Amino acid sequence: MNHTAYHYLLSGLLFLTMNFSLISQEIRATIDVKNIKDDKVHVKLMTPKMSVDEILYIMPASIPGTYAKMDFGYFVKNFKASDAKGGFIPVRRLNDNEFLIIGANRLNKIEYDVNDTYDDTTHTLDVFNPGGTNIQADSNIMFGAHGFLGYFANMQSIPYTIECIKPSSLFCSTSLTKQSVNDTTDILTAKNYDALVDNPAMFAKPDTISYMQGGTKISIAVFSISGKVTAQMVSKVIKPVTKTVESFLGTMPVDRYTFIFYFVDMARRDLQRRPAYGALEHNYSSVYFLPETTEESMLKSWIAQTAVHEFLHILVPLNLHSKEIAQFDFREPKMSRHLWLYEGVTEYFSVLSRAQSGEMTEKQMRQTMRQKIFGSQFMMAKPVAMTELSKNVLLPEYQKMYGVVYEKGALLGMYFDLTLREKTGGKITLLSLIRTLTKKFGPDRPFEDTVLFSEIEQVVGKDIRPFLQTYLDSPSEIPYAEMFSKIGWKYIQEDSIEGFSFPGMRAKMDDGTLTLNVRKEDNFLGAKQGDIVIEVNGMAVDQADGELDIAGEINDPETDEEIMLKVKRGDDVITLKGKPKVMKKLERSIIRIDEAATEKQKTFLKEYLTKQ
């Protein structure tokens, strides 16, 4: 079919689908995750009665919270349509995601098989694992509805009822409304297709924990391939996260929230064809795909920052967003100009909230923002305005730079926050600005994408417009020295400075093990290549707060104080002691406490790091 003919065909279809009447206002589906054949799940969908001859059944090209094309229809196989008597109805597959049903006025049922994304090796597009699907018979089903169910054109808004046939040994964890009919049947309901996609589920052997955080019921569900990680272990990390977020926001804006974790054995390369560890947020839940570890410190390091970020999405974009987010086009996704707000500011808040709660030290915050400077410089091949990157992120040229929204986006969030505080004498912060905008708009009242800056100007004043135009609507570099000086931090772009170092020795954290890489066997500390550090200055490595602090004590000492290491060398435990040497070394993007900071700057920093 040539492009012109295809265009007219679709135009006709849209006209038809906008002018039909429905007798039954509901989609009823059956998902059989018990009788899995050839690693595929069978889907049966009883359809509404329609008065049109032809209609499209559409699988999503992308989903909210992801910023890439994924084409979930690719994983649909053996698509069939039939009438009430079981008679065949013709179906023409137009592309990966669209099925044209010819004879829709007779349509009663469609059926097809679904393959999963986790272990697929044939799809040319990257499907982000936390937004993907998994089919492991009698073990685990990651049920992102977008990978199993589609919608009929112009029928996104009608309810879905899903009968899930499952093994009696598997439990369904979800924030969807769920009714357990018996030990092999669960009924899931959603008010429309958007709500269905927004509430993923996981079927797995029960390993769950629930608790109350303020007025919110928090549920944690864990699947670990080899059983190394349990819900009990994860809850120790998540409880401080939910407490931090409640403290930061002042209230919990949802009545329930489900954390769904899938931990993969790092030896299972078939399940990690691409390095896609991470998480995906939803209104009432978030999904995590992470490597297994028994080390509590590593588990905390991997989960804590990610979980704070995902949980904070209940602020933006889930409660404040543009029409592109609220009225998501699953067929041909339209991106918002404000990815800097949805992801960049959320990432910034995940750092600030932990610093304000004491979960992160001021030193760790400086180190984190320094790493984001390095990251933004590495990821951004050419200067691009954040609004331009956001709007065009699905295009290959911009997709390569997507990660910069978590780096420069977070730095812009910090600069915007400090600028707001400075201009208003602390009366308006970035968090209070978002709260104000949320009251005006909110989850059911999206804003126009092009007017957000004007709305911000109405709250803050006209003198905020130059900041928005310079740093968000143009590719201007952030003036780091000016930004950090507001809170008494000193920024040095590059300098050969006197610093402290243990020459010839570096520490590297790998899966909870801190190992010394020794280039000089005659180093004054007496370390040997392969020494495993088990204690630093009396602190056990497996009790430390991740890699950032404990390895930094060895790799980047800030003072000349003596360090004491206990290392395991073969079967022996040896104590090493020594002071770092003063050396000249080239450093870039240095962020330190300014010893000449004024009282005004010190007060600003204190107020900034105090819970609002």
* Structure-block tokens of residue 545: 């707060």
CATH topology of domain 207-297: Zincin-like (3.30.2010)
Q: For the domain with range 3-128+135-203, which CATH number is right: 2.60.40.10, 2.60.40.3650, 3.40.980.10, 3.30.450.90?
A: 2.60.40.3650
Q: Which CATH superfamily is domain 503-579 in?
A: PDZ domain (2.30.42.10)
Q: Which CATH superfamily is domain 315-488+594-612 in?
A: Neutral Protease Domain 2 (1.10.390.10)
Confidence at residue 335, expressed as pLDDT on a 0 to 100 scale: 93
* Structure-block tokens of residue 607: 């107020």
* Mean pLDDT across the chain: 89
SS (H, E, C) 320-388: CCEHHHHCCCCCCCCCCCCHHHHHHHHHHHHHHHHHHHCCCCHHHHHHHHHHHHHHHHHHCCCCCCHHH
All CATH 2.30.42.10 domain ranges of the chain, comma separated, are 503-579
Region of 138 please: left (phi>0), alpha (psi -120 to 50) or beta.
left
* 484 confidence band (pLDDT: 50, 70, 90): very high
- What are 236-277's pLDDT values in tens digits? 999 999 999 999 998 888 999 999 999 998 766 555 555 568
All CATH 2.60.40.3650 domain ranges of the chain, comma separated, are 3-128+135-203
On whether the CB atoms of residues 328 and 451 are closer than 8 A, the answer is: no
On whether the CB atoms of residues 106 and 82 are closer than 8 A, the answer is: no
- What are 109-144's pLDDT values in tens digits? 999 999 999 988 888 888 999 999 999 999 999 999
Alpha carbon distance 91, 113 (integer Å): 15
Q: Which amino acid is at 134?
A: N
- What are 43-71's pLDDT values in tens digits? 999 998 888 999 999 999 999 988 889 99
Confidence at residue 336, expressed as pLDDT on a 0 to 100 scale: 94
Confidence at residue 15, expressed as pLDDT on a 0 to 100 scale: 35
The SS3 call for residue 414 is helix
pTM: 0.83
On whether the CB atoms of residues 579 and 560 are closer than 8 A, the answer is: yes
Question: What is the CA 522 to chain-centroid distance, rounded?
Answer: 46
All CATH 3.30.2010.30 domain ranges of the chain, comma separated, are 207-297
Has residue 542 got a pLDDT over 70?
Answer: no
* Structure-block tokens of residue 447: 């804003």
Confidence at residue 270, expressed as pLDDT on a 0 to 100 scale: 55
Q: What burial class does residue 3 get, using C-beta atoms within 10 Å of its C-beta: 0-12 exposed, 13-18 middle, 19+ buried?
A: exposed
Confidence at residue 302, expressed as pLDDT on a 0 to 100 scale: 83
Mean pLDDT, rounded, for 505-533: 81
* 327 confidence band (pLDDT: 50, 70, 90): confident
Q: Which residue has the tokens 């909230």?
A: 353
* 4 confidence band (pLDDT: 50, 70, 90): very low
* 470 confidence band (pLDDT: 50, 70, 90): very high
All CATH 1.10.390.10 domain ranges of the chain, comma separated, are 315-488+594-612
Mean pLDDT, rounded, for 555-565: 86
On whether the CB atoms of residues 161 and 187 are closer than 8 A, the answer is: yes
Backbone phi, psi, residue 74, to 5°: -55, -30
* 406 confidence band (pLDDT: 50, 70, 90): very high
Has residue 9 got a pLDDT over 60?
Answer: no
* 440 confidence band (pLDDT: 50, 70, 90): very high
* 514 confidence band (pLDDT: 50, 70, 90): confident
